[in-house]
Amino acid sequence: MAKVSVYNMEGKEVGTMDLSDAVFGAKINEHLVHMAVVQHLANKRQGTQKAKTRSEVSGGGRKPWRQKGTGHARQGSIRAPQWKGGGVVFAPVPRDYSFKLNKKEKRAALTSALTSKVVDNKLIVVDELQLDEIKTKKFKAVMDNLNAGKALVVLSKDNITDNRYKNVVLSARNLPEVKTAMTNTINVYDVMNADKLVVTKAAVEKIEEVYGNGRC
């Protein structure tokens, strides 16, 4: 069972916390992590690209000149791909890029991503993370105290009704290198894309409760 330090918002160590091996000490499966990231990016693609083939371009129904005797190369339509204004060969069409990952694969990928942050010493546990007002400057100071840099900040969804936690989410929106998430919205891509993972104690307990028991 891994043990990590717990910090306050001033960046001072205030205690330690034991992490569940089922979530933060799992076997790292790089292939599943890769597949989860690919799926996340694929599911975000719009897939609305479209170009017209020769059968869809307006005009070109009449043969431009007779087959023989003109000195020109034979042509069947002015909308063939070699003509200016003609159709596109193998033109792209709208498609759905998304694909499915099994629930157990998603869970294994997320626990692998979380474990990798612990192994690389890039997990920062905070006892509390709350602000009395919406102030980006104050939140930036907290991130600097924790030496977080490019970070994913995870809060417990049970606390989000408290305005002090809402203020954290709103204060972080103007920081391009910081992204916030709830315990029920974290994904492998955001975890791996961040240099540091900043998690509150309550969020750690919630993640262990859900993913440690396989309820996901």
pTM attached to this predicted model: 0.84
CATH number of the 3-45+98-211 domain: 3.40.1370.10
* From-to residues of CATH 3.40.1370.10 in the chain: 3-45+98-211
Residue 71 backbone zone (phi > 0: left; psi -120 to 50: alpha; other: beta): left
Taking only the tens of pLDDT, the chain with its 216 residues reads 788 999 999 989 999 999 999 999 999 999 999 999 999 999 999 999 999 999 999 998 999 999 999 999 999 999 999 999 999 999 999 999 999 999 999 999 999 999 999 999 999 999 999 898 999 999 999 999 999 989 999 998 776 666 778 899 999 999 999 999 999 999 999 999 999 999 999 999 999 998 886 554
Report the alpha-carbon distance of residue 86 to residue 159 in Å, rounded.
59
**Cα separation values, 202 from 9, 42, 68, 131, 161, Å:** 15, 32, 82, 16, 14
158 contacts 200 by C-beta, under 8 angstroms: no
